[in-house]
Structure 1
Amino acid sequence: MDRIIPINIEDEMRNAYIDYSMSVIVARALPDVRDGLKPVHRRVLYGMYELGLSHNKAYKKSARIVGEVLGKYHPHGDSSVYDAMVRMAQSWSLRYPLVEGQGNFGSVDGDAPAAMRYTEARLVKVAEELIKELNKDTVDFQTNFDGSLQEPIVLPAKLPNLLLNGSSGIAVGMATNMAPHNLGETLDAIIAYIDNNEITISEIMEHMIAPDFPTGGIIYGYSGVKEAFETGRGRIILRGKATIEVTGNNKEQIIVTEIPYQVNKASMIERTAQLINDKKIEGIADIRDESDKEGMRIVYELKRDAVANVVLNNLYKQTQLQNSFSVNNVALVGGRPKILNVKELIGHFVDHRHEVLVRKTSFDLEQAKKRIHLLEGYLIALDNLDKVITLIRSSKDPEVAKQELIITFGLSEIQAKAILEMRLQRLTGLERTKVIEEHAQVKKLIEYLSEILADKMLRMQLIKEELAELKERYADARKTAIEYHSDEFTMEDMIPDTEMVIMISNQGYIKRTPLSEYRVQGRGGIGAKGVSTKKDDFSEHLFIATTHQYLLIFTEYGKIYWLKVYNIPETKKATQGKAIQNLINIAPGDQVRSIIQVRDLKNADYVDNHYVMMCTRQGVIKKTPLRAYATPRANGIHAIVIREGDCLLDVQLTSGSNYIVLALESGRAIHFNEQDVRPMGRVSSGVRGITLVHEQDRVIGMASFPTPDWDLLVVSEHGYGKRSSIDDYRITKRGGKGIKTIHITEKTGKLVAIHAVKDQDELMITNQSGVTIRIEVGELPIIGRTTQGVRIIRLGPDDKIASVAKIDVLDQEAKSEDDAVINKASQEENVLEEGEEIYNN
């Protein structure tokens, strides 16, 4: 009874639970911020290192490795050790695998690895960078579980493994889920931090853009990345990489080549098939997994009446083709769990590397001092060779000889012992020279190592050089793309404000291309291939905007959506672009009709002094203050109420006192003052702008003039155009039938575009076959409003003008001599046949 101690059960439970939870947190579930490893992973790597399993040595059975780790360092279940090793060998689990496996190590479909007796493994070269320098007293060691061996508490880790490969784990009362990153970007960010410890997280993000997942995919939106980098917590949306292809029999397919991180491919396909059977996803005729050793390929074959972009959006919405990764950067700092932002993670790694460098340098310095001490003893012996030999020969045993050497020459015990152990060949003249040279080299080394220990700036420079060398050796390209789509984060500080050509095709594909890719050509040129489109698709909207501007996108149904220009994927001019449904939540069946770009929706002066002028196919016009559309919403809002049988056609940004011209495809136009149209609210339908000449007629566009000294440009569908002075169009009241603006003939075709222009402006003209030409407005003569015009672009027999955009700022790019020759040739080719009238009244 004396051995029974009464205790309070609440206190005992509390203390026991705290001990248990701390054991789980520190010794099992959370990684160390310095090397990014949990104890089991560290022990596996150290066990493989002890077995000599470097990247250029033979593989060993996994069971042998597991047994080594279990028996010496990790007294837990063999499955826990094997599972940890397997994960370190899976290229879809780690961005930079640390173990090279041979045999079946599982698959992205969730297949289990083969038993450990069937597989083999060895270290990857990158993993060796974590372990190197262990033998130079760079880190502390601790006794293993039975006190018989020593194991490292942390690895020296030349590479920031926690940032490169991330980590995940569930402890007691806390968890960690850290994303992997690209090696080259990460090392650049660390070097920038070393150069400036006061660097901001935004500046770090100029180098280390976003996580880089081993399975690739697309980071959809940037706000989660920014939040994770700044706070250590954030939700990152990931999408699979999908493209739309057309088969030989004109059927469309969605091809998925990359899936989100940690998504089981087989489960995703099975879940999709179930949703198709339940009629929750429509338009898919068949699903095939055509993945092989060359890469992933999941094929969604579509039904003939399906809209590929709509089906893809449904897949993103309802399946794991779109998934999220919740960042929770919890790691052990000094043995305590802590939430860390990206700058703190980098800072702790740099501190660790600095400590390792100091300890390594101190170790090397100590070894160098020991070596030079021996060399100095050798030199004394060689300088007094005859005396030393005589002394040794006269001594009765080694101990007496050693003492005599110490007394006679003032040597230390270590030096005397080393002299006695010298081989006779060291007494030759050549060996003496080698000892002298080595002494000089070691002396220089001691000076250099002492300099390192005395100068922190030099130590930091050495760390930078080491990181640069590692980047040169191991850096690779990003696997995960980034799609900036959300206004929660703007990239304006990192993206230059340059002019872009925005193109939207008839079937809803959008892209942006630098304006500089389009060379200026002469009037009548043959143009250049501007976009590669699907069959029956063509560029319908083309305009110029700068990267930082907002696009206000108006659709046929009268809705408005917002989009920053830099959120549109940048491509080469000959590529198709991306489906606009992936950028804005446009309703099925709706399509883009007009787009205007605005400088800043947050500037009160700008917003309050501008209006949005809209017109419809049936000639209805409406003016609304820009303020009504200054609050972007993800799902869009109604911009105008569309009457039955009508649709929104064109939109212009005005100052409130502009001059407005509406034109009909029959070749008539009306000119009136904007002040004749009173401002209306967002939910209204507008007033009559122009009266149609006949039922089949329709409005083709609207031009807006801030002052009356502009010209009116008109273009017909067969490539004829001209500009006329606005003075030729008398100002009338809105609602009339208008007057002739171009002489319409069978040769010119119907009127398709009008623009307000000046001499310094340029035009981008695209036809339905995808050919684009860029010409200067100044090349077009100013002629009467009732004339036919001149040929602007030479079209094929069945081709027509699809869109005409105006470039407001004169581009200064120089034309090459080759361009001049090509343009001259194309102009000569387009000379009208003899007798053909250019100006036809």
Structure 2
Amino acid sequence: MATEQPKIQELTLEDVMGDRFGRYSKYIIQERALPDIRDGLKPVQRRILYAMNQDGNTFDKAFRKSAKSVGNVMGNFHPHGDSSIYEAMVRLSQDWKLREPLIEMHGNNGSMDGDPAAAMRYTEARLSKIAGEMLQDIDKKTVDMVLNFDDTEYEPTVLPARFPNLLVNGATGISAGYATEIPPHNLSEVIDAILFLMNHPKATLEDLMDFVKGPDFPTGGIIQGLAGIKQAYETGRGRIVVRSRTKIVPLKGNKSQIEVSEIPYEVNKAQLVKKIDEIRILKKIEGIAEVRDESDRQGLSVVIELKRDVNAEGILTYLLKNTDLQITYNFNMVAIYHQRPEHVGLKTILTAYLEHQRDVVTRRTQFNLQKAMDRQHIVQGLIKAMSILDQVIKTIRGSKDKKDAKQNLVSQFDFSEIQAEAIVTMQLYRLTNTDVTQLEKESAELAKAIATYQLILAEPKELDKVLRRELKAVQKAYPTSRLTEIQNEIQELKVKTEVVIPQEDVIVMISHDGYIKRTSLRSYSASEPDDNGLKDEDYPIYLAKNSTLDHLMMFTNMGHLIYRPIYEIADAKWKDTGEHISQTIGLAENERITWVYSFENLKATGKFLVATSDGYIKQTAFADYTPGRTYKTRASQFIKMKSDDATVVTVEYLPAAPTGTLILITQHGYGLRYDLSEVPTIGAKAVGVKSMDLRDDAIVRATIAADDDLIAMITQRGSFKKMKVADLPVTSRARRGVQVLRELKNNPHRVADYVLVASDANGVALDVLTDRGKHHSILNDDHPTSARYSNGSFVVDTDTEGEPVSMQIHPIPLTV
């Protein structure tokens, strides 16, 4: 006895998984998630329509419980969960999802707010009138039928679809490796395109787009981006912007409101209203007083009420950019074409539909022809029987039974089996003369119909005439105007800062050690000015009242520029220290913010004068210092340093062409004066040109001075001196200059700093800072003007206070 071979196969897991997943993928692609290009339906949708039609649940009959239809579909055609069938059924009834709903439903079938439909036991449904067009002539063998899951009934592989449902109602679905997103379109436009394509098979996409302008969403709205539509119709992929239809309505008392009457397709209205209200509550923008959903049976209406005197256009732009009042819609037109999923364009969809309709009309005509020919055969037999009626009756009466009668008729009078069956089953009343006339009339009509059918089948042009007539009839029966407006270009949304940031006056302080903060006027007014939260040795280098919409430019002594919009500076109480600049931007160990300028906007047209201690100088246009994208985390370079130990000694903003001359003074007491026109305007990262012949010296400061200004300088030995600017002769750039201090052999004076004082200024106080952190005040009026070679008079006791390192005009107390 032969041993049986083992039935166990050894296969790798990869092969088994690959094979099984491949089968599963093919199933869900073809049988679940993607629509057929011909009728635009997924299998569950097709089965719902077919089952309801088979059950007589049509638009001209009464509504029936949805649960009955779902049960029929599940029991006969779709052995999956009832919830998935009912969800598909509900979607087919939602007029905000489908351009032409295929099911009418009584009861709660959901809402634009994302509310679920009532349970199927509460709702009632029937096919809509236009769904009848999808199923028309299905009983005339117009489509292939296959056995259902348990081989008990037949179901269609596709519906006749007498209108182009794939484009009209669109489709959405996710499958294994494929997803589809086809938007709804206007029925009349799509039929016009098909009619044109019938006459012009080589029509271009541009020709077809003369008819199909773009999607036509049931929720209306405005589409922007004609290029995106064209790309989608060409390749199956494309991107458009869909925005709500809005209008700004003025109200009493300088108020206004934004009224939204249409929202983008498939946007959840309740979530949209909630998002806008969150923006109001969180004060992401100022100016929204209230958000109301006033939608009712008359239509959608969302009202955004605004406060008095606000920029309504700016707020609308912000909402379009930051909420679903405007969305990006991505076409991904995938459909089952010749049994496989494909990206399809507009012409492919229309051509495939046209092929399907020609096939449907051909099959229907063949069915009608066969039926007419069968009937004509019977009618001819009846007419023949009437002509020999007595013989026929005698033969039938002489027969044993029906079967024998039929056989006798066939054998004696040459009738066919079918004709004989018709004769023996004929009722007696039809033996009248009038019935013969009717039969002859029917025979003539059948002959005419047969000729017509044969012509349609023989001549493609005749077939197209029939198809054109029927498409036009559908177009006329369901007139629908376009709901969605199409605009060529996508409008760029630029939100103005003043919309997002409330305009408010604040106090801004930047300290010598790098602490920065903004404080409300209320907090500043309620505190002592000196109680500023800084350490004892720290002090403000910038203290001013600014708007939250202003812009700060902070320059360090090592050539770095830090930019901040004032609204981005941390808000703190006046008594708090604020945040250190190093929390966001790293500075070198000895780097300090030294010059700070504020601007109302970033469109200033002036220039910056920049000078370094190692003898370089330049002018740079304001536009070259405007911030880049990374301003929050890194400083930009405003001058390139030639040597490692050099520092920036001057950054001065010149709003217009300044009057006066440029003065530079060195540590060793040399002064040079020349015209500013000798300093070129160059780029942000340039080194600049030579400002002064330094040799082993260093520049203390460079300033623009009027002829009658006074130079007030302090030396490292604590000596204070005033001299006239006019005492410095006007020469040219890069020279050594003239001495402004008398050189001493032992312990010579070195200029620590200087400032310019107007000759007519009274009561000016000068604040000297020493290397020990001590502040010494000098009254300018107490000291006479000295000659150029004078070393001034001692005012600071360096033994007790330390050596002077800088000097500034004492700031006037800030009043708010």
Is TM (by shorter chain) over 0.5? yes
**What is the count of residue pairs matched by the alignment?**
495
Structure-1 residue corresponding to 2:218: 214
State the shift of 1:589 in Å: 11
What displacement does 1:7 show? 1.5
Structure 1: gaps (5+ residues): 489-587, 591-642, 646-841
Which residue in 1 is equivalent to 2:46? 42
Counterpart contact for 1:223–1:486, Cα < 8 Å? no
Measured against aligned partners, the alpha-carbon deviations of 1:567-607 in whole angstroms (never above 9, x if no partner) come to xxxxxxxxxxxxxxxxxxxxx999xxxxxxxxxxxxxxxxx
Query: In 2 relative to 1, CA 194–399 (structure 1 residues): closer, same or farther, beyond 3 Å?
Result: same
Partner of 1:318: 322
Report the Cα distance in structure 2 between the residues aligned to 1:398 and 1:458, rounded to whole angstroms. Answer: 45
The corresponding residue for 2:76 is 72
Equivalents in 2 of 1:644, 1:209: separation in Å? Answer: 53
| SS of corresponding position for 1:142 | strand
Q: Does 345-354 or 221-230 show the bigger shift?
A: 221-230
Q: Which residue identity does 1:123 align to in structure 2?
A: L
Aligned to 2:300: 296
| Contact persistence 1:354–1:463 (CA under 8 A) | yes
Contact 1:166 1:178 in 2 (8 A): yes
1:54 is matched by which residue type in structure 2?
Answer: T
Give the structure 2 partner of residue 433 of structure 1: 437
Matched, 1:399 2:403: yes
Q: 2:376 aligns with which of 363, 372, 379?
A: 372
Q: How does 1:244-323 map to 2 (within 5 A)?
A: 244-323=248-327
Instruction: Go from structure 1 to structure 2 and tell me whether the alpha carbon gap of 1:89 and 1:113 turns closer, same or farther (over 3 Å shift).
Output: same
From 375, 378, 381, give the equivalent of 2:385: 381
Per the TM alignment, residue 132 of structure 1 is displaced from its structure 2 partner at its CA by 1.0
Which residue is 1:508 aligned to?
Answer: none
Q: Is the 8 A contact 2:33 2:42 kept in 1?
A: yes
Q: Is the 8 A contact 1:233 1:328 kept in 2?
A: yes
What is the aligned partner in structure 2 of residue 454 from structure 1?
458
Contact 1:281 1:315 in 2 (8 A): no
Percent identity for Structure 1 against Structure 2: 46
SS at match of 1:327: strand
Partner Cα separation in structure 1 for residue 601 and residue 167 of structure 2: 45
Aligned ranges 1:447-526 → 2 under 5 Å: 447-486=451-490
1:15-94 matches, within 5 Å, as: 15-94=19-98
Q: 2:240 aligns with which of 212, 236, 242?
A: 236
Task: Look up the SS of the partner of 1:97 in the other structure.
Answer: coil
Shift of 1:265: 0.4
Q: Is the 8 A contact 2:104 2:128 kept in 1?
A: yes
Mapping of residues 327-342 of structure 1, within 5 Å: 327-342=331-346
- Residue 190 of structure 1 pairs with residue 194 of structure 2: yes
Write the distance in 1 (CA, Å) between the matches of 2:367 and 2:137.
11
Q: Measure the CA separation in 2 of the matches of 1:213 and 1:379.
A: 59
Instruction: State the shift of 1:277 in Å.
Output: 2.6
- List, as ranges, runs of 4+ consecutive aligned residues in structure 1 with deviation greater than 3 Å: none
Q: CA shift at 1:328, angstroms?
A: 0.7
For the Cα contact (< 8 Å) 1:166–1:179, is it kept in 2? yes
Change in 2 beyond 3 A, CA 1:419/1:644: farther
2:121 alignment partner in structure 1: 117
Q: Residue 189 and residue 644 in structure 1: after superposition, are their counterparts in 2 closer, same or farther (change >3 A)?
A: farther
Q: Which runs of 5+ in 2 are unaligned?
A: 493-599, 603-653, 657-816
C-alpha contact (below 8 Å) 2:221/2:263 kept by paired residues: yes
**1:276 partner letter:** R
**Paired AA for residue 144 in structure 1:** N
CA shift for structure 1 position 273: 1.5
Counterpart residue identity of residue 140, structure 2: K
- The answer to whether the 8 A contact 2:224-2:491 is kept is no
Given the two structures, how large is their TM-score scaled by the length of structure 1?
0.58
Kindly provide the CA deviation profile for residues 86-117 of structure 1, in whole angstroms up to 9, marking residues without a partner as x: 00011111111000000001100001111111
Distance across 1 between alignment mates of 2:447 and 2:178: 53
Q: Note the C-alpha offset of 1:279.
A: 2.8
Paired with 1:418 and 1:344, the residues of 2 have a C-alpha distance of 49
Q: Is the 8 A contact 1:268 1:321 kept in 2?
A: yes
Partner SS, residue 246 of structure 2: strand
1:128 to 132, 148, 158: 132
SS of the aligned residue for 1:89 comes to: coil
Q: Deviations over 1:682-724 (max 9, x none)?
A: xxxxxxxxxxxxxxxxxxxxxxxxxxxxxxxxxxxxxxxxxxx
Alpha-carbon distance between aligned partners in 2 of 1:359 and 1:35, rounded to the nearest angstrom: 16
Q: How is 1:672-711 mapped onto 2 (pairs within 5 angstroms)?
A: none
1:275 offset after TM fit, Å?
2.1
Paired position in structure 2 for 1:224: 228
What's the CA shift string for 1:347-387, capped at 9, x where partnerless?
00000000011100000000011000000100110010111
CA displacement at 1:486 relative to structure 2: 4.9
Quote the Cα distance in structure 1 between the aligned partners of 2:124 and 2:118: 10
Deviations for 1:472-531, whole angstroms, at most 9, x for unmatched residues? 11121111111223599xxxxxxxxxxxxxxxxxxxxxxxxxxxxxxxxxxxxxxxxxxx
Q: 1:142 aligns with which of 139, 143, 146?
A: 146
* Rounded Cα–Cα distance in structure 1 between residues aligned with 2:384 and 2:655: 109
Amino acid of the structure 2 residue aligned with 1:343: K
Deviation at 1:177, TM superposition (A): 0.5
Partner Cα separation in structure 1 for residue 75 and residue 399 of structure 2: 51
Tell me which residue corresponds to 2:107.
103
Alignment of 1:607-686 (within 5 A): none
- For the 8 Å contact 2:292–2:303, the answer to whether it is kept is yes
Amino acid at match of 1:443: A
Tell me by how many angstroms 1:461 deviates.
1.7
CA distance in 2, matches of 1:589, 1:373: 94
**2:354 matches 1:350:** yes
**What residue in structure 2 maps to residue 422 of structure 1?**
426
Q: For 1:361, give the aligned amino acid.
A: T
CA distance in 1, matches of 2:79, 2:203: 44
**Is the 8 Å Cα contact of residues 168 and 187 (structure 2) preserved in structure 1?**
yes
Q: Shift of residue 644 of structure 1?
A: 8.3
What is the alpha-carbon distance in structure 1 between the residues aligned to residue 88 and residue 404 of structure 2? Answer: 59
Hey, what's the Cα distance between the residues in 1 that align with 2:421 and 2:48? 41
**Secondary structure, aligned partner of 2:442:** helix
Q: Distance in 1 between matches of 2:232 and 2:284?
A: 34
Partner of 1:8: 12
1:692-731 superposed matches below 5 A: none
Letter in 1 for 2:338: G
* Secondary structure of 1:301 counterpart: strand
Query: Is the contact between residue 58 and residue 126 of structure 2 (CA under 8 Å) also seen in structure 1?
Result: yes
State the distance in 2 between where 1:589 and 1:384 align: 109
Pair 1:201–1:644, CA change in 2 (3 A): farther
SS of equivalent residue, structure 2 residue 92: helix
Following the alignment from structure 1 to structure 2, what is the Cα–Cα distance between the partners of residues 355 and 306?
A: 62
C-alpha distance in 1 between matches for 2:376 and 2:601 = 84
